[in-house]
Amino acid sequence: MWFTNPEYKEHIKTLPDMKYDLGDVVKFKFSDSIRTGFICVADFGGSLEHDFHSYDIENSEENMLYKHIPEKAIIELIKKYDNNSTLDGEEYG
């Protein structure tokens, strides 16, 4: 299995910490447009074929889930997740 491969384990050790957390509201670049949404999945190390972190970002106004958005595509942290808030999408765009 890929996650028991010694080379993969060494590679993971070289990655920096993730910059964003679940529930953070962010602005990100997607194709030729700028979108806003909240992070609902954070993939440390991204998918197997990548060497960067990625995120799944939900935009409830568009009823859209953007998958595997590279960390470098996030251009602004709009609001840090507050443990006292909910993730129902109503207040997170």
The pTM for the full model equals 0.76
Q: How far apart are CA 49 and CA 81, in angstroms?
A: 29
Closest of 28, 34, 8 to residue 76, by C-alpha: 28
**Phi, psi angle pair for 34, to nearest 5°:** -110, 130
Q: How far apart are CA 36 and CA 62, in angstroms?
A: 10
Q: Domains in the chain and their CATH numbers?
A: 2-79 (2.30.30.140)
Q: How far apart are CA 64 and CA 53, in angstroms?
A: 20
**What does the pLDDT read at residue 50?**
67
Please give the chain's pLDDT, 93 residues, in tens.
Answer: 555 667 766 766 778 889 999 999 999 999 999 999 999 999 887 665 667 889 999 999 999 999 999 999 999 999 998 876 655 555 544
Q: How far apart are CA 90 and CA 62, in angstroms?
A: 12
**What does the pLDDT read at residue 51?**
73
